[in-house]
């Protein structure tokens, strides 16, 4: 199992738009085949960093998932919403594999 952590740099004046975006992914991501851990918006500390975290079995499955997400009506709407509103300033993905017990998911 792989974990994808998406780090977003967001416009701090558009936190509500990011929260709408996150709630939409909360519906679309699981429907398209990934195990969503959650989306996390700024609360204390940095007002510009947010995260999306999900698990997927492999990079090959990720490619299939991305195709389904791109074809999903809510996914398409959410991509367009982010472009239109401009609240995401930067987006970086990191892929991790859990290596500690008891959550070793090899």
Average pLDDT, the chain: 94
- Which of residues 44 and 57 earns the better pLDDT score? 57
23-37: pLDDT as tens digits: 999 999 999 999 999
Predicted local confidence at residue 102, as pLDDT = 63
Predicted local confidence at residue 43, as pLDDT = 87
Which of 19, 13, 4, 96 is closest to 50 using CA atoms?
19
45-82: pLDDT as tens digits: 889 999 999 999 999 999 999 999 999 999 999 999 99
Predicted local confidence at residue 39, as pLDDT = 97
Predicted local confidence at residue 73, as pLDDT = 97
Rounded CA separation 8/91 (Å): 5
Residues 46 and 10 sit within 8 Å (Cβ to Cβ): no
Q: What are φ and ψ of residue 40, in 5° steps? A: -130, 125
Q: What are φ and ψ of residue 12, in 5° steps? A: -65, -15
């Amino acid at each position: 199992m792989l974990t994808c952590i998406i780090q977003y740099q967001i416009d701090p004046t558009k936190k509500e738009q990011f929260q709408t975006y996150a709630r939409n992914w909360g519906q679309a991501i699981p429907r398209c085949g990934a195990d969503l851990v959650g989306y996390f918006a700024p609360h204390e500390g940095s007002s510009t960093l947010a995260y999306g975290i999900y698990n997927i079995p492999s990079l090959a499955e990720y490619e299939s998932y991305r195709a389904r997400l791109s074809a999903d009506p809510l996914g398409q709407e959410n991509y367009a919403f982010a472009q239109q509103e401009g609240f995401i300033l930067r987006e970086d993905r990191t892929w991790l594999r859990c290596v500690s017990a008891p959550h070793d998911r090899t």
